[in-house]
Amino acid sequence: MPNKYLGKYNDFVLFLILIPIINTINYHLTYATIRWDWYTYTTYTIDTLTGFVAWYLIRLVIIYMDKRIPYEKALVKRILWQVVVTNIVAQGFIIIETEVINGLFGDGPLPTKFYTYNLFIFFIWILVINGIYIGFYFHNEWKTAQKLREKELKLRSTGFEVLLGNTTKNIAFEDISTFYVEDKTTYLQTKNGKNFVIDGSLNRILPHLPKESFFRLNRKYIVRRENIKGYRKEVNGKLEVEFDIGSKLEKSTVSRTIAPDFKKWFAKTVQQV
């Protein structure tokens, strides 16, 4: 499965520009005086190409970790492993590539400064690159959350459509008590007890409802939060839902598999009742 955020923010274009800039900064940090002759142009080109390969290796590591250790499951663990592994892979490549080129074209061993100063600078830049991709992730999460909020706001403003003969009527969500199935027919019940036949199953209805206001208890009921007073645990792991005194609903249960999600939803929505 392709990564869900890499590429959506033009990371190739970004690093096509950023890597030469990083290399230029490195030159100014490494050399007190830069003579722009053929040797400098050659080494600058080689170092820039090395930077592109090192960045691409970092990118591959991040894509691999997105599959094995997603940010959503273990954020701190993922970031720590990402920083460690990307440094090992990228700096390992830089060391090997530099040693090979120096062995072929150099006139002596690499200066100690390369392993004490230059690699430290590379470490800092790798942290910066990691920060950019972590920023991509959080930006994508923020955009996703924004879209969900916009969708929910739209849902709340439009209400739920029911068909009355040849006309369509919108019923505000705050006026809906429950959706239920009886004799293989789906109904919408309002607070004042009116029932409307709905064309569609509870599975089709649920995605069109505000998540914070409605929960599907079982195969029979989708209930508005205001109608739920509380719940009791049963011996077999199920939950028996208690409805408000004014509610027209019968007693209902939540299965053991759905119970954890219901309890989280119920606790999260306590303040809105």
Dump pLDDT digits (tens) for 6-18.
Answer: 655 568 888 999 9
Which three-class secondary structure state does DSSP give residue 119? Answer: helix
Mean pLDDT rounded to a whole number for the chain:
86
Q: Are 94 and 110 in contact (CB under 8 A)?
A: no
CA 114 – CA 273 distance, rounded (Å): 64
Q: What average pLDDT score do residues 242-252 get?
A: 73
Q: What is the pLDDT of residue 124?
A: 95
What is the set of domains in the chain, with CATH numbers? 11-155 (no CATH), 160-272 (2.40.50.1020)
Helix, strand, coil tally for the chain in percent (to 5): 55, 20, 25
Which residue spans within 144-265 are E strands per DSSP? 160-164, 167-171, 176-182, 185-190, 195-198, 214-216, 221-224, 228-233, 239-243, 252-254
1 pLDDT band (50/70/90 cuts)? Answer: very low
Percent of the chain whose predicted confidence (pLDDT) is above 70: 90
Q: Please provide the DSSP assignment of 34-95 as one string.
A: ---SHHHHHHHHHHHHHHHHHHHHHHHHHHHHHHHS-TTT-HHHHHHHHHHHHHHHHHHHHH
Per-residue pLDDT tens over the stretch 122-181:
999 999 999 999 999 998 888 888 887 777 676 666 778 887 777 888 888 888 989 999
User: Is residue 233's pLDDT more than 70?
Assistant: yes
The residue assigned the tokens 């096509």 is 16
Q: What is the pLDDT of residue 95?
A: 94
Q: What average pLDDT score do residues 214-221 get?
A: 91
273 pLDDT band (50/70/90 cuts)? Answer: low
31 pLDDT band (50/70/90 cuts)? Answer: confident
Q: How far is CA 59 from CA 66, 83, 132, in A?
A: 11, 12, 11
Instruction: Name the region of 240 (left: φ>0; alpha: ψ -120 to 50; beta: rest).
Output: beta
Q: Phi/psi of residue 205, each to 5°?
A: -75, -40
Characterize the bridge pairing of strands 176-182 and 185-190: antiparallel
Q: Are 156 and 176 in contact (CB under 8 A)?
A: no
CA 64 – CA 61 distance, rounded (Å): 5
Per-residue pLDDT tens over the stretch 199-212:
889 998 888 888 88
